[in-house]
Amino acid sequence: MTAPRHLFGPVPSRRLGRSLGIDLTPRKLCCEDCVFCQIGPTTTHTLERREWVDTAAVLAEFDAWAAGGGEADYATLSGYGEPTLHTRFGDVLRHARDRGFKTALLSNGGLMHLPEVRRDAAASADIVKVTLSAWDEDSFRRLHRPALGLTFERLLEGEQALRDIHPGKLWVEVMLVRGVNDAPEQVEAIADAVATLRADAVHLNTLTRPSLSQDGLHRVSEAWLHTIAPWFTPVAEVPAFKGKAESPLDMTDDALMELLVRHPLSVAAWAKAAGIAPDALESRLAALAESGRVAYETDDGVRMVRATVPRA
């Protein structure tokens, strides 16, 4: 069976356990061009909302996966770009929910100022995760490089308005980059903005996967993340890997590539989630590495594996 084009994983997620990724955008379509993005620079930088990929095809792939015994803690919209750019993202989440799956929307929050986006997010996602890593217009532009027309004020007001109507959980991710937005006064300003969202949880994150968007970026130390966690309301969490992943030993090459092209992974974390030894994982990937389809790199002491040949 050919690997699905719009599904990947389930992925071992630090927040969602065993998370089935559902991708609703081509590579790399987004309303932002974040300096820390693991996928790489945004090539289609837009605020235009439309049915970027065929919804019927996505739902058919999901149904085939579920009928084949697929299991996941969450069906999660994520992948190459911003999922709310797809006008029917809510239909996809409702479809998964109707089939008994919990649902999550991982969004940068850039389109939450639109009432129709907030409505669909609130009605279809058990968890909505938005990002807030800046504290003013200048820091927003330096970190996220938004498409023309998207401002920090719009982003923050949209996320605040989502909180007012969303009956499920609202999570806020704060992505910190060493030397960019991790100074004490910067973190305090971010924490003040985050507090206005009345989040159910705040997750402090840093570069757990190497960025493809800009060289010379480095992760913030775990010790600093734990030091500043109490500055947030609620007290921020520093996510750790949990849950289980399908064994790579049981996955086809196509399925492995669909996962890695969207989700570079730590070798140690992936092996642990799959219940296998790191050496066994690298042996499984050896042929893909020899052919140049995947490559290893070490980022701040963490050995990572990523796809080198993106899916068209």
Q: Give the dihedral sign, CA 188/170/132/7.
A: positive
Mean pLDDT, rounded, for 123-131 = 97
Domain at 7-244: CATH code: 3.20.20.70
Local confidence band at 117 (pLDDT 50, 70, 90 cut-offs): very high
Residue 76 DSSP code: E
pLDDT band at 1 (very low <50, low <70, confident <90, very high): very low
Apex 81 CA angle, 69 and 306, nearest 5:
70
**262 or 275, greater pLDDT:** 275
- What tens digit of pLDDT does each residue of 133-158 get? 999 999 999 999 999 999 999 999 99
Position 15 scores a pLDDT of: 78
Is residue 208 within 8 A of residue 241, CB to CB? The reply is no
**The pairing of beta strand 265-266 with beta strand 169-175:** unpaired
pLDDT tens-digit series, residues 41-97: 888 999 999 999 999 999 999 999 999 999 999 999 998 899 999 999 999 999 999
Q: Is-contact 8 21, C-beta < 8 A?
A: yes
Q: Percent of the chain scored above 90 by pLDDT?
A: 58
DSSP state of 259: H
On the question of pLDDT at 309 being above 90, the answer is: no
Do the domains 250-312 and 7-244 match in fold? no
CATH 1.10.10.10 given to domain 250-312: yes
Global pTM? 0.79
- Give the integer Cα–Cα distance in Å for 207 and 216: 12
Q: State pLDDT tens for residues 199-210.
A: 999 999 887 655
Mean confidence (pLDDT) of the chain:
88
Distance of alpha carbon 87 from alpha carbon 233, whole angstroms: 32
- Find out whether 154 and 174 touch, Cβ atoms under 8 Å: no
Domain boundaries, the chain: 7-244, 250-312
> For residue 266, what are the β-bridge partners?
304
